[in-house]
């Protein structure tokens, strides 16, 4: 089991790397994997002057929903990187479908390696992948290397409702880390909890259907699929009760 596989599994709420080959099937009904393209577009268009020369790096881009939305609505150049081959192939097809293939480049790769070599971006996006690049401070420091002076970082994460949360941190703690890492918070957008609940329910319905299909096809792996669905339900419960989803726009200072 490689460190990359372990981080990938964790970022997609999979308890075991054994599930990785089945993830494209399980997630086939979902294009937006975590981050809200609508929220990303809103924060960027409201706070940043965008032109056709604006360069955006979308790390752990999944199936390209955010990248394609930005290219389509704002006309900027986007490079998306994800370690899942199937996700990248899907992103390329979607880019053609939305007629933005000339603005979008999608690459299969480990974002831990790419943050060391990608430079000079106006905006870098990291959405809903947990600690793939390290803790909050380590992540911000790594992202800092990829953007221009006065560049921006868009993070999709969450604020803990209380300081007793062992996984997430409070907004107050986030701001301390953001400032310590050489950024300022430009704006944050909290999820609409009533709308979010509906999205989560729809996702769970899709995942339950695909999980049951896999259990029929691979009965010896039933425990694996049941554990995945259990993890997804637990994460949804946490997102609805223990944390507040937030998209943060940060400026490097």
Average pLDDT in the 59-80 region? 95
Q: What is the dihedral of CA 200, 205, 207, 211, to 10 degrees?
A: 150
Q: What percent of the chain has pLDDT over 90?
A: 66
Check whether 1 has a pLDDT greater than 60. no
Question: What pLDDT band is residue 7 in, cutting at 50, 70 and 90?
Answer: low
Claim: this prediction has a pTM higher than 0.85:
yes
Q: What are the tens digits of pLDDT across the range 16-41? A: 678 888 999 999 998 887 778 899 99
Q: What mean pLDDT comes out for the span 211-227?
A: 94
Query: Is the confidence at residue 111, as pLDDT, over 80?
Result: yes
pLDDT greater than 70 at residue 2: no
User: Could you report the per-residue pLDDT of 113-144, keeping only the tens digit for each?
Assistant: 999 999 999 999 998 777 889 999 999 999 99
| Mean pLDDT of all residues in 179-200 | 85
Overall residue count recorded for the chain in this entry:
253
């Amino acid at each position: 089991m490689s460190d990359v596989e372990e981080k990938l599994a964790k970022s997609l709420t999979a308890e075991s790397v054994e599930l990785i080959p089945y993830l494209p099937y399980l997630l086939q009904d979902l294009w937006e994997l975590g981050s809200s393209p609508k929220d990303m577009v809103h924060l960027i268009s409201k706070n940043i002057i965008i032109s056709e020369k604006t360069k955006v790096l979308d790390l752990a881009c999944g199936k390209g929903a955010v990248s394609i939305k930005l290219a389509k609505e704002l006309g900027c150049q986007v490079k998306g990187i994800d370690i899942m081959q199937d996700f990248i192939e899907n992103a390329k097809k979607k880019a053609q479908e939305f007629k933005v293939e000339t603005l979008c480049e999608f690459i299969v790769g480990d974002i831990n390696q790419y943050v060391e070599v990608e430079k000079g971006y106006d905006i870098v996006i990291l959405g809903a992948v947990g600690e793939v690049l390290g803790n909050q401070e380590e992540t911000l420091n790594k992202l800092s290397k990829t953007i221009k002076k006065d560049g921006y970082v868009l993070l999709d994460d969450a604020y803990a409702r209380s300081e007793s949360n062992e996984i997430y941190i409070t907004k107050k703690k986030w701001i301390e880390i953001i400032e310590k890492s050489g950024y300022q918070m430009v704006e944050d957008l909290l999820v609409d909890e009533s709308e979010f609940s509906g999205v989560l329910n729809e996702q769970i319905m899709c995942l339950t259907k695909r999980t049951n299909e896999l259990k029929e096809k691979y009965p010896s792996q039933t425990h694996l699929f049941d554990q995945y669905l259990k993890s997804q339900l637990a994460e949804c419960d946490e997102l609805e009760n223990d944390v507040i989803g937030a998209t943060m726009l940060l400026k490097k200072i």
